[in-house]
Amino acid sequence: MDGTIYEYEDPLQGGQAQLAEGEQPGLEGTGYYSPPRSTFANGMHAAVVEVDPDTSDIRILRYAVVHDCGPLINPMIVEGQVHGGVAQGVGGALYERMAYDEHGQLLNASFMDFLMPYATEVPRGIDIDHLETPSPLNPLGIKGAGEAGTIPVPAAIASAVEDAVGVPIHEVPLSPSRLHELRHATTADQGGHP
């Protein structure tokens, strides 16, 4: 740069402004914010399930979520995140088992072998309500939204299945074949006939 000053009309100031050679007129700003502590969303999930007594097929009849992520900046996006989180949680609760052989080799690494829920397996009408309790840990009072839709789902579904069939459930994903095994093992342990 030779230090030459260029002039241009500044429409906002109604006059002339000066720029050094190589500079472009414009406005740019960068800012960073790092909160001193993490925030945590909270909520409640409930599931109503139906278990076929012959096939051990599990069907989710109703699913409800009350979610508190602080002030809702964009309610439609939060609703979508909760719906997507529940769908992902259904996968973790009932379908997405990682199978390994004795050498630690993943056996179901393709979508041909790895089960994921279709839209037909995700509850149609997920009942969602929101609380808006601001967090004191950041200026906007906001908390997380996506993970709170996902994390509780496997536990809520396992608890509902346990209540429906009277068999302790300590693992997910819970396939119909695995539930069938658990039901028969519990019956045999109690001295009954499968």
Query: Where do the domains of the chain lie?
Result: 42-165
Residue 113, Cα to own-chain centre: how many angstroms?
Answer: 23
Residue 119, Cα to own-chain centre: how many angstroms?
Answer: 16
Segment 108-134, tens digit of pLDDT: 888 888 888 888 889 988 999 999 999
In this prediction, residue 79 carries a pLDDT of 92
Rg (C-alpha) for the chain, rounded Å, is: 27
Spell out the CATH class of 42-165. Answer: alpha beta
% helix / strand / coil in the chain, to the nearest 5? 25, 20, 55
10 sits in the region (left: phi over 0; alpha: psi -120 to 50; else beta) called beta
**Average pLDDT of the chain, as a whole number:** 87
Segment 34-74, tens digit of pLDDT: 878 888 889 999 999 999 999 999 999 999 999 999 999 99
Q: Who has greater pLDDT, 93 or 137?
A: 93
